[in-house]
Structure 1
């Protein structure tokens, strides 16, 4: 179904207006969103995405509606997984909590621009070359395998672009609120804030290489691909602060995403065989294979995500990982808040609460935690500075 240019124009204006509203009323003034603020605005953006999907179903039919919702749910799940990397990058650069909103909004805008470019490139490939379906399917299958392979996400945000920027330009070691440049020793230098944004932008491009083939496996309607991607990114900033404490708890999310991407990869390959015109396959003729319906795709995606999230939240390993991450964060905040005694005391109380949760874990998890030398050293330092005894 062709979408009129006027509908495209209204949609783009609406998305830009939402981003501008987000910046003017939430991000421009640095602050840490409360849990209530994050929950309200996350729910609002999800509600907007759902209402848009209802409108697509009403005006475009059930198939278009199902394709949009399948794409939106898949892209939203991939966006949540991307938050893990954002969290690592901002932790490695020690971005002040109040300034993280600006970094996230930049990441969302850059990601939307990058993915829009990939969307139109992907559409051009699909329209011109049927073998593009084979290529996209292969990308997703390889990505699915990489997701379940043991590998560390923690690259410290130091991608190639960041390393080059550090060497070529003068960079400051300290933040100047949320400024990108500051004056140090009479010279204009970049602040770490700009480097963080470079790191986020670089990873956004890599994320697009996975997410765009995934949604093209669910619909080839460029308008649905664009809107599902855009609405999955809107509200991601608020979602970050809402589920910050749960991110480390979703320990099985990568396995669920691997299953989803693998499933969509197989769907793409089957579709490619059905539309085949590659000369060395079946003499360039379509292959009679079963194709996976959009309804089945949506059911599989929602089902896998539900099982993954429930398994993660009820897992003892997930609880252990969440407690360790929270303890590490509180310990770091305590040591960084030396100039504010009240803040240090409050943070120390939170740290003690997390240590109590760790002590309540089964012994096998406590033993693994005690083997984390960096964490144990960090906790010893905090207790030594506070004048208390540390009991691991």
Structure 2
């Protein structure tokens, strides 16, 4: 497949069109997407990305097709990891649920722009100095090691809401403490001030730049074709907003995702160093001659990326830690859901809600204490939600029986979970 100016132009027009559609059709009116809406549009965007890769096969360009799919899966995985940080930022700024998708779409747009700049710079540097792959490879190994070290040490996620860009914005521009709808500026006492909506966008924009530093070198380890890098990166970002609302609540169940991504970044780092050795021009390495090392084929990279991600998901969900987190989260979820039942809820609906609440509360009580200590950031709040729901059940005149796990929890000063 020939990659020329027309190919670039059509692809950029497609990406801009998708972004424009998102702005005018989805986030123009503030709302929280339903699960069905998020699922449908996530499927549409992922389907569009997969179909785009088939174009290479249609032209008989199998090599670029494999590179595109490998890059797309790699960047998608890194983008999902980015959602964790976006979640922290929006929680720190207490962004209302209805306005979160607008913030996410801004973050995606800014990420696309910043990464496009990094892609062009990276391609120019590679053309001018091929030995830059040594730097890319070593950098990715350091990032992988740093991420792994943080996980093993049990470091909590940093509060990205207080980054330097936000502090500078607050220093030079007056800021309001309250949201004014989804407006970026508001009038307070006759003065125009920033709203927290603008500050959260600044925080996410600054974070996007940091993400680009490990994202772009990683995908250049898959392919050196700038067009493939751009298209795979762009399509991995498309639909990320819908994916956020689709898997919201499931994100933190991927308790070992960081380990998986660390392994992938380390693998790509090794691949880059091997490529650099194969194309070596540094005089202090093998006298400036190429080093006869085996390079890792792109097809192997694809299998490794997919395999590691699949293993990470399975281990996260079915390991003792993963099962403990699911039990703790579901205990809170079903207790909260029961407490929100209307007074006139049908008896059958109330009975099913009680059964779910009892089932998951009992599972949560049986979770090993070490997992409770590690997984619960606010144990008292978590416990009060469950206790309140069971107390409400006992006080509810429509409850037919209050035996078993419910009585046990209310009788205590507070549940273990």
Q: Comparing 194-203 with 183-192, which one deviates more in the overlay? A: 183-192
How far 1:46 sits from its partner (Å)? Answer: 0.5
Instruction: Report how far residue 385 of structure 1 moved.
Output: 8.4
User: Taking structure 1 as the reference length, what is the TM-score of the superposition?
Assistant: 0.89
1:298-330 alpha-carbon deviations (Å, 9 max, x no partner): 111111111111111222312433555677899
In 1, Cα distance between equivalents of 2:359 and 2:370: 15
Q: 1:130 aligns to what SS in structure 2?
A: coil
Distance 1:371 1:61 in 2: 49
Q: Any conservation in 2 of the 1:41–1:235 contact (CA below 8 Å)?
A: yes
- Give the alignment partner of residue 160 of structure 1, picking from 159, 164, 182: 164
Alpha carbons of structure 1 residues 132 and 259: separation in structure 2 relative to 1, 3 Å = same
Contact kept in structure 2, 1:328 and 1:378, CA below 8 Å:
no
CA contact 2:271–2:295 (8 Å) conserved in 1: yes
Residue 365 (1) aligns with residue 368 (2): yes
2:247 alignment counterpart = 243
Equivalence for 1:68 = 68
Q: Does 1:95 align with 2:119?
A: no
Q: Which deviates more from structure 2 when the two are superposed, residues 316-325 or residues 112-121?
A: 316-325
Return 166-175 or 244-253, whichever deviates more: 166-175
Q: Partners of 2:139 and 2:354 in 1: how far apart?
A: 43
Aligned counterparts, 1:211-290, within 5 A:
211-290=215-294
Residues of 1 paired with 2:240 and 2:158: CA distance?
21
* Residues 74-129 of structure 1: per-residue CA shift (max 9 Å, x gap): 00000001111011111111111110000000000000000000001100111111
C-alpha displacement of 1:375: 1.7
Could you tell me which runs of 5 or more consecutive residues in structure 2 were left unpaired when the two chains were aligned.
346-351, 393-409
| Partner-residue secondary structure (3-state), 1:288 | coil
**Contact map agreement 2:130 2:279 (CA 8 A) in 1:** yes
CA distance 1:379–1:287, change in 2 (3 Å): closer
State the partner residue of 1:185: 189
Q: Counterparts in 2 of 1:1-392, with a 5 A limit? A: 3-59=3-59, 61-150=61-150, 151-322=155-326, 324=328, 357-361=360-364, 363-366=366-369, 368-369=371-372, 375-379=378-382, 390-392=414-416
Contact 1:144–1:262 (CA under 8 A) maintained in structure 2? yes
SS of the residue aligned with 1:239?
helix
Q: Measure how far apart 1:4 and its partner are.
A: 1.2
Distance 1:175-1:257 versus aligned 2 partners, 3 A rule: same
**Distance in structure 2 (CA, Å) of the matches to 1:284 and 1:153:** 43
Question: SS of 1:149's equivalent?
Answer: helix
Distance in 1 (CA, whole Å) between partners of 2:354 and 2:104 is: 26
Q: How many residues align?
A: 385
- For each residue in 1:336-382, what CA deviation from the matched residue of structure 2 results, as whole angstroms up to 9, or x when unmatched? xxxx997xx9xxx9999679635404745356436888623324665
Q: 1:336 aligns to what? A: none
TM-score, structure 2 normalization: 0.84
Tell me if structure 2 keeps the 8 A contact 1:317–1:365. Answer: no
User: Would the alpha carbon gap of residues 78 and 315 (structure 1) be closer, same or farther in structure 2, given more than 3 Å must change?
Assistant: same
CA contact (8 A) 1:126 1:132 kept: yes
CA distance in 1, matches of 2:261, 2:111: 19
**Shift in alpha-carbon separation, 1:374–1:229, aligned structure 2, 3 A:** closer
Choose 245-254 or 363-372, whichever is displaced more.
363-372
Change (3 A) 1:350 1:341: closer
Output the CA distance in 2 between the equivalents of 1:90 and 1:326: 23
